[in-house]
Structure 1
C-alpha cells in the first residue's frame, strides 16, 4: 500500500477525497434549502464513516480538497443570504460543527433504525440555525 501512498495521512486524505466527491449541492431551491441539502448529505457520510471524520480531526494534514470544496460552497450559499464573507465563514463553521456533532453522536450505535428520528431532530436543528442565520448575531 505504501507504493501508492506515502503514509497513512495520504491514504486517509485520498479516501476522504474519493468519498466526498460524491457530495454535490442541489442547484434548485433557496440558498437555505441548498445549505440544508448539502449538510444533510454530508451528515450521511459522517454517520457511515465516523472513523474517517475522526481521523481528519486528529490529523489536520489529511483535510481533503473535497471537504474544502464543500465548505467553500456553504460559504458562497451563505453569502447569497446577504452575509459578508466573514459572517458566512463563521456560519459555515457553526453549521458544519453542528453537523459533525449530530452525526458523530449517532454513528456509534449498533442499531441504526433510530436514524429516522435522529435525522428529524437534525433537520429541526438545521432549520432553527438557518432561520436565525442573520448577520446581526455576529
Structure 2
C-alpha cells in the first residue's frame, strides 16, 4: 500500500503540482480513508520527503557513467546536463528540496558526493566543495528559469535552443572553474 500511495502521489504531483497537492486529495483520488496515508507518513512533509528520496534514488541509479580512465570532466558535464533535465522534469519536488534543505536525503547526498568526486578528479582551480556548490546553484537557477518558459511555451524547438544555450554557458563556467579562464 505504501508503494501505491507513493506512485499515485508522484502522478498527482506531475499533473497538478505541489501547490494543489494535499493528503486529503490524495486519499480521495485513491478512494481510501486519509488515515490510511497517515499510517505510512506522519504528515505531508514526510510524504514529500519520501517522494524526493524515491525520485532522486531512481535518477542516481539511472546515471550511466563508464568506469575506467575516461575524462572525468566530461563525465561531470554529462551528469550536470542530465541533472538539469531531471530537475526541470521534477520541478515541484526539486523546489521542495531547495526550500527544505534541512531534510537529509540519502539519494541527494549520493548525487552530491558523485559530483564532488568527479570535480576532485578533474582538478578544479577553486576548492572542490565551492566548485560543486557553484555548479549545482548554476544548474538550479537555469532549470528554474527554463521551467517557467517551458510551462508557458512547451515547444521542442525552444527547449532545444535553451538546452544548447545552457551547454555553452556550462562550458564557459567549466573553463573558468577548471582552467582559470575568463567568463566572457
Count of aligned pairs: 136
Is 1:80 matched up with 2:124? no
Whether the 8 Å contact between 2:53 and 2:105 is mirrored in structure 1 is yes
Gaps of 5+ in 2: 1-36
Whether the 8 Å contact between 2:84 and 2:139 is mirrored in structure 1 is yes
Q: 1:1-138 counterparts in 2 under 5 A?
A: 1-21=37-57, 22-23=59-60, 24-27=63-66, 29-83=70-124, 87-108=127-148, 109-113=151-155, 114-134=158-178
Secondary structure at the aligned position of 1:6 is classed as coil
Deviant stretches of 4+, over 4 Å: none
Q: Please state how far the C-alpha of 1:11 moved relative to its aligned partner.
A: 1.4
TM-score (ref. length: structure 1): 0.86
TM-score (ref. length: structure 2): 0.66
Gaps of 5+ in 1: none
| 1:85-125 per-position Cα deviation (integer Å, ceiling 9, x unaligned) | x8111000000000001111011223232110111111111
CA distance in structure 2 between the partners assigned to 1:8 and 1:62 by the alignment: 13
CA distance in structure 1 between the partners assigned to 2:38 and 2:109 by the alignment: 25
Deviates more, 1:59-68 or 1:39-48: 59-68
Structure scoring higher RCO (CA < 8 A, sep ≥ 6) equals 1
Q: Please state how far the C-alpha of 1:61 moved relative to its aligned partner.
A: 3.0
